[in-house]
């Protein structure tokens, strides 16, 4: 029998088709058998990660997942006798918004699709004695944006689709931080988050020849010429701190001269930026967390200790600043009161605004003050150089 070229090509095509179909059928059947496997397990107060590892070891089942998207540190108790892996996984991830799918003989764990456009996350943040934490921070890890709690520790976060793979960092000065994986959040859910007080751990005493000296840089005067209002909807004001002589060491504190003409009880966010060598404007954020200050002074200098963040002094200088935050409720304050050394006629805000901080300025020479507008743009004023009164404490190595 003689086959022409067309028949050979046709026959070859059929062989390839049935071959692929057979391979697919075998793979499909095998993958189906993975979830159909009968398992017997029993665990008490064990992390999901440990359970998955034991199943993988004992039953030759491979799992794939990302710890940033799936919270496998949660401890659960589960008992199953001769149940399918499918049913066991349903029990493990019950009410946890986790979807498991099979691909290439591997079970892939991933967040269930949600209507993130309408997702709301709310609750209350308290200390370990169940007392509400006012002005605690809830920050998006990737974007650095966030909100703060009101005076009763309550908060509400509106989440978008783009936030699905992000993580929320819950923090407050003097307390250990916590993280919440957004993909695990249920719509309109309300939870209570407890933050533990930080333990003061003394560093091990070491004999060393290396010495340090403390130095304050910035505008650290005693008297202000006036005050500038800090809007509570994201406005920022920063002062450039030069690094003369290429100082090496750490930034231990940021200090602010708070005017009595503002609401000195209002919280604000501490800001630190590198210098953008191209534009000369604030560049990369030096703080990995949202640090919210809660002033306890009526007016004058207020210091925020940030030594625990171990921030090195940038060689080209840096920006230290303040961002206004809107608190849930604000104490009444008479903004017509003035500091002895401040002229009311020079205050840059109408008397009707009483909920934000006012920062002192001195009008010194040099243009080191930058402003961040609601249009998300850094700029300097052409006519008025406020030279805001912000300073930093440095720990410099000799």
SS (H, E, C) the chain: CCCCHHHHHHHHHHHHHHHHHHHHHHHHHHHHHHHHCEEEEEEEEEEHHHHHHHHHHHHCCCEECCCCCCCCCCEEEEEEEEEEHHHHHHHHCCCCCEEEEEECCEEEEEECCCCHHHEEEEEEEEECCCCECCCCEEEECCCCCEEECCCCCEEEEEECHHHCCCEEEEECCCECCEEEEHHHCCCCEEEEEEECECCCCCCCCCCCCCCEEEEEEECCCCCCCEEEECCCCCCEEEEEECCCCCCCEEEEEEEEEECCCCCCCCCEEEEEEEECCCCCCEEEECCCCCCEECCCCCCEEEEEECHHHCEECCCCCEEEEEEECCCCCCCCCCCCCCCCCCCHHHCCCCCCCCCCCEEEECCCCCCCEEEECCCCCEECCCCCCCCECEEEEEEEEC
Phi, psi angles (nearest 5°) of residue 145: -85, 165
**Please, which pLDDT band fits residue 385 given cuts at 50, 70 and 90?**
confident
Q: Is 50 exceeded by the pLDDT of residue 205? A: no
What residues form DSSP beta bridges with 395? 214, 250
Q: Is 60 exceeded by the pLDDT of residue 235? A: yes
**Please, which pLDDT band fits residue 113 given cuts at 50, 70 and 90?**
low
What CA–CA distance (Å, rounded) separates 179 from 288? 13
Q: What percent of the chain has pLDDT over 90?
A: 25
Q: What is the pLDDT of residues 260-270, one digit of tens each?
A: 888 888 889 99
- Domain positions in the chain are 27-111, 116-195, 212-397
Distance of CA 173 to the CA centre of its chain: 14
What CA–CA distance (Å, rounded) separates 370 from 356? 19
Taking residues 27-39, report their average pLDDT.
64
Which two tokens mark 73? Answer: 């540190």
Query: Which carries the bigger pLDDT value, residue 11 or residue 166?
Result: 166
**Please, which pLDDT band fits residue 122 given cuts at 50, 70 and 90?**
confident
Average pLDDT, the chain: 78
Which CATH code fits 27-111?
3.55.50.30
Residues in the chain, overall count: 398
pLDDT at 243: 92
- Which one, of 355, 379, 323, lies nearest residue 139 by Cα? 323
Q: Is 70 exceeded by the pLDDT of residue 159? A: yes
**Please, which pLDDT band fits residue 355 given cuts at 50, 70 and 90?**
low
Name the burial class of residue 70, with classes exposed (0-12), middle (13-18) and buried (19+) by CB atoms within 10 angstroms of its CB.
Answer: buried
Contact 258, 224 (CB under 8 A): no
pLDDT at 163: 75
pLDDT at 240: 94
Q: What is the pLDDT of residues 167-180, one digit of tens each?
A: 888 988 888 889 88
**Please, which pLDDT band fits residue 341 given cuts at 50, 70 and 90?**
very low
- Which one, of 159, 164, 57, lies nearest residue 110 by Cα? 164
| Residue whose tokens read 């949660």 | 74
pLDDT at 324: 85
pLDDT at 41: 92
pLDDT at 180: 84
Distance of CA 166 to the CA centre of its chain: 9
Torsion, Cα 353 357 359 360, to 10 degrees, reads 70
pLDDT at 250: 94
pLDDT at 344: 39
Q: Which CATH class is domain 116-195?
A: mainly beta
Parallel, antiparallel or unpaired: strands 63-64 and 106-111: parallel
Which CATH code fits 212-397?
2.60.120
Which two tokens mark 272? Answer: 């630190």
What CA–CA distance (Å, rounded) separates 147 from 326? 9
Q: What is the pLDDT of residues 277-324, one digit of tens each?
A: 899 999 999 998 889 888 888 889 999 999 988 999 999 999 999 998
Q: Is 60 exceeded by the pLDDT of residue 191? A: yes
What CA–CA distance (Å, rounded) separates 137 from 177? 10
């Amino acid at each position: 029998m003689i086959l022409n070229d067309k028949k050979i090509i046709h026959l070859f095509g059929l062989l390839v088709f049935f071959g692929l179909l057979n391979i697919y059928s075998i793979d499909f059947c095998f993958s189906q058998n993975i979830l159909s496997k009968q398992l017997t397990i029993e665990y008490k107060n064990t992390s999901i990660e440990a359970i998955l590892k034991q199943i993988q070891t004992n039953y030759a089942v491979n799992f794939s997942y990302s710890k940033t998207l799936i919270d496998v540190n949660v401890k659960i108790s589960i008992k199953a006798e001769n149940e399918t892996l499918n049913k066991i996984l349903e029990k493990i991830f019950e009410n946890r918004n986790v979807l498991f799918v099979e691909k290439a003989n591997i079970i892939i764990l991933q967040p269930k699709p949600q209507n993130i456009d309408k997702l709301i996350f709310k609750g209350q943040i308290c200390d370990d004695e169940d007392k509400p934490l006012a002005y605690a921070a809830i920050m998006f890890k990737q974007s650095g944006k966030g909100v703060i709690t009101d005076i009763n520790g309550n908060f509400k976060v509106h989440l978008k689709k783009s936030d699905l793979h992000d993580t929320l960092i819950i923090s407050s000065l003097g307390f250990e931080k916590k993280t919440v994986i957004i993909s695990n959040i249920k719509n309109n859910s309300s939870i209570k988050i407890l933050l533990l007080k930080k333990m003061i751990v003394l560093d091990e005493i070491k004999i060393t020849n290396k010495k340090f000296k403390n130095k304050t840089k910035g505008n650290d005067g005693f008297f202000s010429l006036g005050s500038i209002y800090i809007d509570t909807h994201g406005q920022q004001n920063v002062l450039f701190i030069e690094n003369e002589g290429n100082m090496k060491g750490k930034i231990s504190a940021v200090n602010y001269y708070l005017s009595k003409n503002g609401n000195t009880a209002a919280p604000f966010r501490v800001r630190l930026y590198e210098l953008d060598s191209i534009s000369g404007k604030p560049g990369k954020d030096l703080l990995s967390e949202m640090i919210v200050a809660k002033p306890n002074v009526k007016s004058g200098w207020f210091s925020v200790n940030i030594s625990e963040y171990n921030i090195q002094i940038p060689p080209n200088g840096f920006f230290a600043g303040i961002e206004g935050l809107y608190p849930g409720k604000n104490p009444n304050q008479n903004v017509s009161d003035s500091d002895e050394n401040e002229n009311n006629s020079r205050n840059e805000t109408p008397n009707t605004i009483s909920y934000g901080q006012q920062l002192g300025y001195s009008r010194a020479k040099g243009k080191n003050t930058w402003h961040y507008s609601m249009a998300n743009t850094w700029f300097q004023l052409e006519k008025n150089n406020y030279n805001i009164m912000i300073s930093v404490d440095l720990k410099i190595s000799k």
